[in-house]
Structures are given as C-alpha cells and as structure tokens.
Structure 1
Amino acid sequence: MSAQVTVSVSGSPREVPAGTTAADLFSDDRAVIVARVNGELRDLTHALAEGDQVEPVTAEDPEGLAVLRHSTAHVLAQAVQATFKDAKLGIGPPIRDGFYYDFDVETPFTPEDLKALDKAMQRIIKEGQTFQRRVVTDEEARAELANEPYKLELIGLKGGAGDAEGADVEVGAGELTIYDNLNRKGEVAWKDLCRGPHVPSTKLIGNGFQLMRSAAAYWRGSEKNPQLQRIYGTAWATKDELKAYLERLAEAERRDHRKLGTELDLFSFPDEIGSGLVVFHPKGGVIKRVMEDYVRARHIEEGFSYVGTPHISKGQLFETSGHLPHYADTMFPPMDLENSQYYLKAMNCPMHNLIFRSRGRSYRELPLRLFEFGSVYRYEKSGVVHGLTRVRGLTQDDSHSYVTPEQAPGEIRHLLKFVTGLLSDFGLNDYYLELSTRSDAPDKKDKFIGSDEEWEKATEVLRQVAEESGAELVPDPGGAAFYGPKISVQAKDAIGRTWQMSTIQYDFNMPSRFGLEFAAADGTRQQPVMIHSAKFGSLERFFGVLVEHYAGAFPPWLAPVQAVGIPVTDDHVPYLRDVAGRLAEAGVRVEVDDSDDRMPKKIRTHTKQKVPFMLIVGDDDVAKGAVSFRFRDGSQDNGVPIEQAIERITEAIRTRAQV
C-alpha cells in the first residue's frame, strides 16, 4: 500500500497518495491553470507534501490571469526565435492588461512582422505544447543558455536582477529554473530561463490574445545599455474578454486628452518650448482658472494660508531636505551662478519649511497649514513623457500641515475628507485608497531615511485613518516617498481606468533635517510632524484625467463656453445678444454665433465643441420671449421663457450638475 499524505484542499483535509500532484487533484476542472500551495503559486505538476494547503487558481483570478499572460509571453518569444533565427532574448513579464517581451534583433519589428508572429503563436498554441520546469545550477544554466547574452547577465546578477522591471520573473535569490516547451513527441521545442509558474499546456491560452505594438526599450531600463525591441501583447481568459478589452481601448483612444486637447483648442506642446512643457490656450485657460479658483477657495475654507515661493533655489536647500541625495535623477541639471549651484524647484516642501522656520512658533499656532500653487520642474525621461499626465513642468496645489504628533491623526482625517469631497465635486466618486509603505527588502532599505520605529508609527497612523474612512484600502509595499509613508486616492474614471489623484504623506524626517521646532505648552521645544498633501496631485495631470473622464464634454461649471446663442436667421441676432448679456451678468460664459454659417452647421460646430447649452432662437421664440434649448445629446426643449432659461443654466453651474 502506497504511503499517504494529508493535504488541505480549499480548506478541507484530504488524504492522498504520496507523490500526488496538484494536477491530480484538479483533473476534473479544465479551468484550473495553476495551484496556490501554502500561499505561493505553483505549476500543476508540483508534487504535494504532508500538510500542504492547496487551492485551485483559474484565469478568472488576477494572479491566474498573470500566469496566463506570462505563458503567452513565452509563446511569443518562441515564435520570434523560430521566425528570426538570430534574435536574442531579453525579459518577458506579465504586466497590467497584458505582457511584453524584449528582443535583440537586427531591425525593428514591423506591423507585418507582428501579423506573422501572431500566426506562428497560434500554431504553437494549437499544438498543445506543455511547460516543464527544471531546477538547474548556475553552471548548467550558463551552458544551456550560452548563446543568450542577456540571460547570462541575469544569471550573474541573481538576487539583484529584480531592480530591472520584469527581471524577477527570470531569476530570484534562490534556485535557478528553466522551463522547456515540449512538443507532441515530448521533445524540447524551446526553452527559457524563468521562475514560473506556467499553464500546463499552450492550448489553455486559447484565442484570447493579440499582439498590440512594438517599441524600442533599453535593456534593464538604462540608457547606458543596448536598445532592444519590445513587443507588447494582451491576453485574456476568453475571446469575449479580449473583445471587450479592445473595445475599451478604442473608447480610451476616442477620449485621449491629447487628441481632444487639439480638437477643443485647449492646450498644446510646442516643439519650440520643449518636451513635456504645456501651454494652455484661452479655452483651456478658462478651465485651468476655474480649477485654481475652486481649490484656492476650498483651501482657505479648510484653514490654509496661501503662500508663494520661487521657481529656483540654491542646491544646499535640496541637500538639507534630502532630495538631492535621493531624487537628483529626476531634477533638472544645476546652473552655476555666483559661485553657487542653483536648481529648478522640483518640490515645494523645503521652501515651506523655511517659512515655518522664519520665526518662533507656538503650539497655539498648530496645526499651521500652508498652501500654494507651486510650479515645479522634473526631468522625466523622454520615453515616459505623455501629454498632460506625465509632464516636465507642472503645478501642484501643494499644502503642508505642521502639527503635534497628537494632532496628526485628526489632521489626516481632515485632509482625507477634504480630498474626497474635492473628487466628488469634479465627478470622480469611485475610488479606493492605497497605502504606500517602505520596502523591507535589505537591498532597498537605504532608499528610505528614518528609524524603524518612526516608520512603523507613521504607517500605523495612516492605516488607522484610512480604515476608519470605510474606503477600500490596498497595500503598496515599497511605494513610499524616501521621507515617509503616504495614502494616495486612486480614482476610477468613466470607463473604469484607475488614476492616482490626491496624496497625503506623513513626514517625520524633514522637520528634523530643517530643525523645525515649536514651543510646547510645558515650555519645552518640540519637533512638529509635517503632513504633505496635494489635492489635484498636479493641476496638469488632473486636467488631463478630467478631459478623458468627460470625453471633453465638461459639466457646465467647468465648460469653457457654457452657453452659445444660435440664431435661425441674422434677424434674431439682436434678440440673442440681449439674452447673452443677461446671462453674462449672471456670471455665465456665453457667446453668440453670428457667423455666416447656416444654422444646422452652427449646431454641428458647437456640438463638436461640446458646449453644454445651445440656445436656438427663431420667430416663435422672439414672439414668446423665450429660447429653445438644444443639448449635447441632440435632445431639445423648446419655448423656454428667458428667465426660466437663465435660472436653469445658472442652477446647473451653481450645483456643479453633471449635465
């Protein structure tokens, strides 16, 4: 009688023969692609041991879907090397909504190449190749992958290769493994250095994948390294899910703020100024001003004092704050002036600290809340600059609260209520909170300053306040700023995409570095806690998100033109000018279209410009002292008395209605 072991399958104990694999347990369920064994994902071929806790994982599970995508990346790499014999392998990880794989090839991939690779992948998938895991020594791996220079480099960096995006799917700090793709005859058709796990058969990938595009990418993300060619793809559990994803992409393309910014004449990025530096046109300037007026007034309502600081500073300021040692790569190079090095400001907090330190402070002044629209400049790499959502010159609605340690939880509650109310006013009501903490990895601890005790205390304060809010809280280990943990509000837009918006950061480091003190009630000198908060995050990024959220059809209070008068004939222009004058007196941004275009064309023009209220006037309207409303969706409301029309428009603006 064979030996038996007891395992827990989805929480229920079960006796199975020794040597039983996860595949044996779930052989009746074809949807299972990997197993979670003692909390870790394993191949279905993994042999179970006494006491193992086992759960099935399908592609409906986010972790299972990542495995499916990783396996699809391997199929892509196999297809590339079968089609381009001299191609060398880089890294191929799963990513959000898909996967990529990097290759060293003589010439960049073309759209025709991607079509050919798609067909090659389909053949591999239909063949039903199986993934087989093998543990190898460093020497064995080097011998087997002797013709793959990038894999050899990863082997040499074992344990530290994870600093490169995606490298952790290849090697870790433990044993090395190679995955073989076996054909129908059981022969090795292809192999790759990989930690796994993978789906048991390529057939499980099915037809829910598509290659999307190719682009250049530096090896391990460094401009000092060779430039490789990266192929991006997407993979889903079913073809229907793939179709839905592609439809979402098409909708996202229609909403692209860069495209709409041009069509609606909101902003541009002139080459003469430089990459990532935006100019707002008059209509975009209206929206920007409304946003600024709103958030300035809200800060004052919430007890903040408005301050102003320069765009440039001596480098010593950023040495003191800790930014130059930890943040220099994202700052513009220094300028040598008057025997000193000056830097464009990349953050506002050091200068706010100088305002706090400019005179003695008492506990009676705390919380002391400072706020400004701070223009900052960050040297983002050209490859990541993207419209308004990733710029090099940005405006932060930046605030810093100086509080006693005892006041910190209350101030964070105050700020969290402030930022979520702001998002609601802008129509972003679907969000969750993310708690970014310090990385505990030994090789990354030096990226953060402060003691373990300080980090634990600050993190716990943020966690408790976030949990009290009732919002979903998602951990983000390693995502903290170098000086302290933070809460960020992750808001979903109209088509379900998530954007990081407002942030609240607990800082116990900078007050110490700047020697900030206040006179406590007992007469002692004590150090305040500093809480950073940006409500928009950056005005430019928030603007870009709003354009895409509303697809350019801003609610009336934000729309650059809130109402436009459209006469049926030129005879009706004087009447409309009178109506427009009354609307303007009520604070409405209104225009009258007295161009030579015919009325239907005027309606089409202003519909494309997404004006909330079009007021059409003909003979009947003039006779009745009325206007006819036409809305962006094409519906109309005819013969509305002028006073009632003005009230409807002003009420929609006043209440920030989502019309």
Structure 2
Amino acid sequence: MSELQSTANISVQLPDGSLREVPAGTTPLDIANAISPRLAAAVVVARIRPLAKVTAGEASDSSEESMYAGPTTDADGTRLVDLTTPLTESVELWLLKEQDEASLKVVRHSAAHVMATAILELFPETKLGHGPATDQGFFYDVYRASPFTDADLAAIEARMAEVVARNEPFVRAEEPREKGLEDYEKQGEFMKVHFIERFTKPGEEISLYKNGNFTDFCRGPHVPSTGRVKAFKVMSVAGAYWLGDEKNQQLQRIYGTAFFNDKDLQAHFKRLEEIKARDHRIIGKQMDLYSIQEVAGSGLIFWHPKGGIIRKAMEDWMREECIKRGYNLVYTPHIMRREMWKISGHEENYGENMYPAMELDDAEYRLKPMNCPGHILIYKNSPKSYRDLPVRYAELGNVYRYERSGTMHGLLRVRGFTQDDAHIFCTPSQIEDEIAACIDFAESVLHTFGFQEFKVELSTWDPKDKAFIGSAEKWDGAVGSLTKVLDAKGIPYKTIPGEAAFYGPKIDIKLVDVLGRMWQLSTVQFDWNLPQRFDLTYKGEDGELHQPVMVHRALFGSVERFFGVLIEHYAGAFPLWLAPVQIGLVPISEKHLDYANEVKKQLEEAGLRVELDERNEKMNAKIREFTLQKVPFVLILGDKESNTQSVSVRTRGKGDEGSVSLADFITRAKTLNETNAATL
C-alpha cells in the first residue's frame, strides 16, 4: 500500500456493488493490485464518485478548462483521477481499461505531454501553451520564432519514441499558485502565466505533472507513465493566434494522434483516407455543385445549377413539412436599423460577429445575423389573444455573420448562409409541448435525409458570466422545461454548462454520419428575454395582457452546412430524390435518339430529372461519365429496347440489372422519388 494520509478507513464500492474497507490514502492502483496484478497492469485511469453523491457543480468541456481549471466534477461528483491518487473519502470506484472512451482521451492528453517533452529537449527556446486531447488525437500550442519544418516534426516524433522508451512516471505535485506564477514568469512562459491567472485563484494550490525533467501546469489525469503511450503519430503543424486574436503572437499548433495499439492507429489513418475521399469541397467541384469565388469574397457560396436542384429539393421538403406542422411561412429583410439590434441585445452580446453598421440617409443599418427580431416584429404587428397561440413563424432566411478569414471551411463555415429558422410564440403552459414537437420535427429531418443516429446536448448558463441575461429564476425554469421534455421522451443527453445562447438554454442535436462523425446542426432554444425586450403581449383568458415565451429552432441549422454534411455522408452519391440528375440516358447510336427522347419525355412527365447524352461518343464513355457524376440510374437504349418499349438498367452501386419494361421502371423510380427513400 502507498503511504497513508490517515489511520481512518473509507469504503470503496466497486461496479459489482461489493464494498471494500481500506485505509484512507489507498490509491486506485492499490485496489487494482489487491484484486489482481493483471488488472493493475491493464487499467489506465480511475473514475470515482463520492458515495454520499454530494453535488459539486457541473463539468465543463472547454479544452482550456479541461487542462487547467481544477478537477472537473460532474453534477453528481463523478471525476477522473490518476491511478496514484490517494482516496480520502468513501467513493464508488471504476477502474477503466483501454476499452473505455475516457481512457483514450487520457492517453492522448498524456501523449501531448510526451510531445511537449520532446519539443523542449530538441528546441529548448520554445514556450508552451496548452495541449488538450481531441476527438481525433491531440495538439499542443507553442510559441517559437522559427517555423517548424517537416523535418522538425519527424525529429519530434523520433524523440517522443525515446521519451516513451524511458518509461518515465507521470507524477502529480502541488505548489502554491504564487510560486507557479513566479517560476513561469522568470522562464518567460507567458501562456502558462495566463492560464494560472485565469483558472486559479489567489491562495490556491496549483497542480503540476512531471515526467523526467519535464514539468507542466496541468490538471490531469494521466496514464501511469510515458511507456503507456505506445502508438502515436505527429501529424502536422498549423498557425494559431494566441487567444484567437490576430493582434497577438502567432503560435504554432502541432497536431498528433495516439491510440492504444498500432492496429487502431492504422485503422485511424485508413479512416482519414475515407474522410479525404468524401471531402465536400473536392466532390462539390467534381460534381459542379457550388463554388466560392475569391473575387466576390471568402465564405460566400455560389450555388451552381446541380447544387441548386438539391437545394430546391431540401427547401421544398422543409417548407411543406412546416406547413403540415402548423407553421406560417414568412420573409424578413436582410438589413434592419441598428436600433433594433440594440433592443434585441445582439448589438451588445453578438456585435463582434456582425458586420459593421451602414450609414444611410435616415439611420444606421446592419446586416442581420439572425432572423428572430424580424419574426418578433411580425408578431408584434397585430394584437394577439391566447386563442391565437401558439403562433409559429418559419423562414428560410439569409443571414450574415463575420468569420475570420482563417476559420472558413467550404460549406461548413461561411459568412453568408440560409438558416431554416422558426420562432414559436406561446403561453408558458404550451412551451413543453412545443419543445417536444420541435424535437420530433428534428428527428424527422434526420431520418428523412438518411441519418439514423444522433446525440443530444443540453446547454445551460453560467451564473458568473455577465453575457447571459435574465434572472436565475427564469434560467432555472427554462432549463427545467427542457430537461423535463428530454426525460419524458427518454432521450439521453449531456449537460454543457456555460454554452447556452445569451438569451436562454438550448438543446443541440448532433447527427452522426456514416463515418461516425458528429455534426452540430439542429437546435431548439428557450427564450423569455426577447419577448420581454420587445414588450410582446397576448390577451389571456382573464382579459389581462401577458407576456408570451418563445422557442427558437433551426433543424438544418443552415442549408449550406447541412448540404456539406450530406455531400460527405453520401460521398456525393445522393439518394434518388436528392440527386441533381436522377436518370442518365445512353442511346447506343444516333438511330436510337428518337426512342431516347420519347423515354426522356415520359420520365420527365413522371416528375423525374433526366439527362440525355446525345454526344457522338462510344456507349462506355457515356456510361463512365454518368458513373463519375454518381447518377443513380443509367438506362441503355438500343434496338432491343426500342422494339420492346423497354430499358436496360444500370443501377449505381449494383451495375447491370438487365432489361425491364419502361412502364415498370417509371413506376419504380417514381415511387422512390415521391417517398423520399434514403437508398436505392
């Protein structure tokens, strides 16, 4: 056993429900060894929760906070700790092995420390920022006057292998905050000084992790030693401004990844190749779907004819669904007076993401970053009774938000986009039914467009953050309503403190694509602030005026981003109802053109999108062109087909399916198209 901090005993409850009485100061590793030395060799990290389940504030997933801000503790007191952490109170204990998702993040964070060790051994003039684990690996932000080259990255990776081979223990130590600040200031470690000042308070102890001669300010936890970081790769380096401010120093962000074994590492690189093959920017160009014209400006999307057809299918479906679900379609201006944005709170709380004001002859105007104030003005334009509520307005509205030049990414991060926005004005007693209906609508969107899996996050406020407006009572009530709906629907969710909109809490629905990647698209938000700011009312049953509450919801999120995700999910091979060209016609020779035009006419009359290749090219060349464009069906038309009113069908992904009557094929294709089938 390790040296005990106390002679008192504590209780440790294991996952099977069994209890062990051990001396206070016993470590998770001690308990693992007592169970089995083999288990002790396999565990990576421990998860503990006080048996008393004392609530200790909610956790944050901010990458900086996960590095520096004291032990992250869930609302029920659960937290990850090193295997060598002395246990000083009775706890539930989980000993996590490699199969646990949390273990992989701990290994990756430890790999970031191994990389920092290697960087300082090779380039001692480097100053360190932070190095969190990510879903794909890890990175470390560093400052060095000279840029790192590919040869430098290779040298860093080789030195990391040496650090791993040394099998240096990760040892946690604590020291007074003031000493840490003094030491780091002397070393010129300006980023470490910032993190200590930001995430700790005067008089506190700060935690340091040491391996060999390397020491880093860090909360942890870590694997027992550098030798547990076995399969890793230094990937690339990119620029990143300190604190995201272009006026600050240009940092270098070195990316890497780590896994428990080489098999998983190689599988990761294979997956990266698949991701690259699905890149919407490449496929979008190959299929001529959209473009970004630098002469017009970064982050502004030009929809080409084929992309425009897909957009029309998306928007037509959305508008029809909105009408079915009781929404009224509205349209609002792209610019509005600056004064209105002051009333809404966007000027104060969202101004840095808005474009500068335009001074016109009667007032200053700003491009809209949101549609909500416009919908509020429509609501306010005429008196409302409780009998009118809920009022649901929906708009596919263009909005404009400032993004820094280095942050934009194809369709996924843009400056101008179309938001499938809706706002629901209702009584407090109606709010939970409306939120539930929005979630049902979101599920319908995802399933219709071919996504079967999603994850949900509930974003709440931070009472200490002045950016959030409204009283604690209002926030608690709103969070309670969202929680009640999710619980009633049996939807698992993760609570993310401090990530709410400034006007209210929200439910974010993240779809999971065919590669298992999560995408933030749909959101449902509770808002009592804007109705108050704009003095919205309705006449209640009692004849008095009352203030409605408001739901913001966007299900595509933005048409552009959703389209980009669709491209990558399907790798451009869209289901029939979304495909820009649904059927390609290949006449074998010129003498079959008359029949081909007859087939084209009948297909188009059935509501299908058809392209006839009339070029004087060989049949195989025409088929290959349609195949490269990922057209769902290619119909070959020759003598036999002309004489029998049939078509020879080639189906994407299946190949030649033989001849069928034209009438039967039309019935098949029309059914697939009209039912929005997600597959062929």
Residue 511 in structure 1 maps to residue 531 in structure 2 = yes
Tell me, in whole angstroms, the C-alpha distance in 2 between the residues paired with 1:454 and 1:590. Answer: 55
Secondary structure of the structure 2 residue equivalent to 1:512 = helix
Residue 343 in structure 1 maps to residue 347 in structure 2 = no
Q: Percent identity of the aligned residues?
A: 44
Runs of 5+ in structure 1 lacking a partner?
163-170, 183-188
Secondary structure of the structure 2 residue equivalent to 1:402 = strand
Q: Which residue of 2 aligns with 1:574?
A: 594
Residue 541 in structure 1 maps to residue 580 in structure 2 = no
Tell me, in whole angstroms, the C-alpha distance in 2 between the residues paired with 1:53 and 1:367. Answer: 47
Report deviation, 1:521. Answer: 1.6
The residue type paired with residue 584 of structure 2 is V
Report deviation, 1:4. Answer: 6.0
Q: What pairs up with 1:234-245 in 2 under 5 angstroms?
A: 234-245=257-268
Alignment counterpart, residue 306 of structure 1, candidates 329, 334, 342: 329
The residue type paired with residue 288 of structure 2 is D
Secondary structure of the structure 1 residue equivalent to 2:485 = helix
CA separation of 1:19 and 1:483: change in aligned 2, threshold 3 A: closer
Q: Are the aligned partners of 1:7 and 1:49 in contact in 2 as well (CA < 8 Å)?
A: no
Secondary structure of the structure 2 residue equivalent to 1:298 = helix
Secondary structure of the structure 2 residue equivalent to 1:130 = coil
The residue type paired with residue 153 of structure 2 is L
Report deviation, 1:17. Answer: 4.8
Q: What pairs up with 1:257-276 in 2 under 5 angstroms?
A: 257-276=280-299
The residue type paired with residue 209 of structure 2 is Y
Q: Which residue of 2 aligns with 1:167?
A: none
CA separation of 1:281 and 1:514: change in aligned 2, threshold 3 A: same
Deviates further, 113-122 or 257-266: 113-122
Tell me, in whole angstroms, the C-alpha distance in 1 between the residues paired with 2:114 and 2:186. Answer: 19
Q: Are the aligned partners of 1:624 and 1:639 in contact in 2 as well (CA < 8 Å)?
A: no
The residue type paired with residue 366 of structure 1 is L
Residue 360 in structure 1 maps to residue 360 in structure 2 = no
CA separation of 1:78 and 1:314: change in aligned 2, threshold 3 A: same
Alignment counterpart, residue 155 of structure 1, candidates 190, 193, 203: 193
Q: Are the aligned partners of 2:306 and 2:580 in contact in 1 as well (CA < 8 Å)?
A: yes
Alignment counterpart, residue 618 of structure 1, candidates 638, 641, 646: 638
Q: Which residue of 1 aligns with 2:346?
A: 323
Tell me, in whole angstroms, the C-alpha distance in 1 between the residues paired with 2:194 and 2:235. Answer: 32
Residue 584 in structure 1 maps to residue 604 in structure 2 = yes
Residue 6 in structure 1 maps to residue 26 in structure 2 = no
Q: Which residue of 2 aligns with 1:76?
A: 115
Tell me, in whole angstroms, the C-alpha distance in 2 between the residues paired with 1:499 and 1:593. Answer: 37
Report deviation, 1:58. Answer: 2.8
Q: What pairs up with 1:126-275 in 2 under 5 angstroms?
A: 126-142=165-181, 144-146=183-185, 148-150=187-189, 152=190, 154-155=192-193, 158=196, 160-161=198-199, 174-182=204-212, 189-207=213-231, 209-275=232-298
Report deviation, 1:271. Answer: 0.2
Deviation digits for residues 459-490 of structure 1 (CA, Å, limit 9, x no counterpart): 11111212222332222222210111111221
Tell me, in whole angstroms, the C-alpha distance in 1 between the residues paired with 2:181 and 2:323. Answer: 64
Tell me the TM-score normalized by structure 2.
0.90
Deviates further, 63-72 or 16-25: 16-25
RMSD: 2.0
Deviates further, 563-572 or 130-139: 130-139
Tell me, in whole angstroms, the C-alpha distance in 2 between the residues paired with 1:616 and 1:62. Answer: 50
Q: Which residue of 2 aligns with 1:638?
A: 658
Tell me, in whole angstroms, the C-alpha distance in 1 between the residues paired with 2:488 and 2:21. Answer: 43
Report deviation, 1:297. Answer: 1.2
Deviates further, 307-316 or 63-72: 63-72
Report deviation, 1:510. Answer: 0.4
The residue type paired with residue 76 of structure 1 is M
Number of residue pairs aligned between Structure 1 and Structure 2: 640
Report deviation, 1:205. Answer: 0.9
Tell me, in whole angstroms, the C-alpha distance in 1 between the residues paired with 2:24 and 2:547. Answer: 62
Deviation digits for residues 2-37 of structure 1 (CA, Å, limit 9, x no counterpart): 946233052533244565333222231212122234
Deviates further, 252-261 or 39-48: 39-48
CA separation of 1:129 and 1:314: change in aligned 2, threshold 3 A: same
CA separation of 1:135 and 1:101: change in aligned 2, threshold 3 A: same
Q: Which residue of 1 aligns with 2:44?
A: 33
Tell me, in whole angstroms, the C-alpha distance in 1 between the residues paired with 2:508 and 2:168. Answer: 43
Report deviation, 1:178. Answer: 2.2
Q: Are the aligned partners of 2:184 and 2:193 in contact in 1 as well (CA < 8 Å)?
A: no
Q: Are the aligned partners of 2:185 and 2:193 in contact in 1 as well (CA < 8 Å)?
A: no
Q: Are the aligned partners of 1:278 and 1:388 in contact in 2 as well (CA < 8 Å)?
A: yes
Residue 600 in structure 1 maps to residue 600 in structure 2 = no
Alignment counterpart, residue 24 of structure 1, candidates 27, 30, 54: 30
Tell me, in whole angstroms, the C-alpha distance in 2 between the residues paired with 1:16 and 1:417. Answer: 50
Q: Which residue of 2 aligns with 1:97?
A: 136
Report deviation, 1:161. Answer: 4.3
Deviation digits for residues 304-326 of structure 1 (CA, Å, limit 9, x no counterpart): 11111110111111111111111
Deviates further, 78-87 or 604-613: 78-87
Report deviation, 1:640. Answer: 0.7
Residue 293 in structure 1 maps to residue 316 in structure 2 = yes
CA separation of 1:148 and 1:248: change in aligned 2, threshold 3 A: farther
Residue 383 in structure 1 maps to residue 406 in structure 2 = yes
Deviation digits for residues 422-450 of structure 1 (CA, Å, limit 9, x no counterpart): 2211111211322111124x2x2x12111
Tell me, in whole angstroms, the C-alpha distance in 1 between the residues paired with 2:646 and 2:522. Answer: 44
Tell me, in whole angstroms, the C-alpha distance in 2 between the residues paired with 1:197 and 1:140. Answer: 22
The residue type paired with residue 112 of structure 1 is A
Report deviation, 1:251. Answer: 0.9
The residue type paired with residue 476 of structure 1 is I
Secondary structure of the structure 1 residue equivalent to 2:228 = helix
The residue type paired with residue 206 of structure 1 is K
Q: Are the aligned partners of 1:131 and 1:199 in contact in 2 as well (CA < 8 Å)?
A: yes
Secondary structure of the structure 1 residue equivalent to 2:365 = strand
Q: What pairs up with 1:418-433 in 2 under 5 angstroms?
A: 418-433=441-456
Q: Which residue of 2 aligns with 1:529?
A: 549
Tell me, in whole angstroms, the C-alpha distance in 1 between the residues paired with 2:43 and 2:210. Answer: 21
Report deviation, 1:393. Answer: 0.2
Tell me, in whole angstroms, the C-alpha distance in 2 between the residues paired with 1:284 and 1:638. Answer: 31
Q: Which residue of 2 aligns with 1:168?
A: none
Q: Which residue of 1 aligns with 2:420?
A: 397
Alignment counterpart, residue 513 of structure 2, candidates 493, 499, 511: 493
CA separation of 1:24 and 1:470: change in aligned 2, threshold 3 A: closer
Tell me, in whole angstroms, the C-alpha distance in 1 between the residues paired with 2:676 and 2:224. Answer: 54
The residue type paired with residue 634 of structure 2 is M
Secondary structure of the structure 1 residue equivalent to 2:350 = helix
The residue type paired with residue 583 of structure 2 is A
Tell me, in whole angstroms, the C-alpha distance in 1 between the residues paired with 2:427 and 2:24. Answer: 61
CA separation of 1:41 and 1:474: change in aligned 2, threshold 3 A: closer
The residue type paired with residue 629 of structure 1 is V
Runs of 5+ in structure 2 lacking a partner?
50-77
Q: Which residue of 2 aligns with 1:457?
A: 477
Tell me, in whole angstroms, the C-alpha distance in 2 between the residues paired with 1:575 and 1:172. Answer: 85
Tell me, in whole angstroms, the C-alpha distance in 1 between the residues paired with 2:330 and 2:24. Answer: 71
Residue 438 in structure 1 maps to residue 461 in structure 2 = yes
Tell me the TM-score normalized by structure 1.
0.93
CA separation of 1:70 and 1:148: change in aligned 2, threshold 3 A: farther
Tell me, in whole angstroms, the C-alpha distance in 2 between the residues paired with 1:161 and 1:172. Answer: 10
Q: What pairs up with 1:109-120 in 2 under 5 angstroms?
A: 109-120=148-159
Q: Which residue of 2 aligns with 1:46?
A: 85
Tell me, in whole angstroms, the C-alpha distance in 1 between the residues paired with 2:402 and 2:598. Answer: 51
Q: Are the aligned partners of 1:160 and 1:172 in contact in 2 as well (CA < 8 Å)?
A: no
Secondary structure of the structure 2 residue equivalent to 1:516 = coil
Report deviation, 1:220. Answer: 2.3
The residue type paired with residue 174 of structure 2 is V
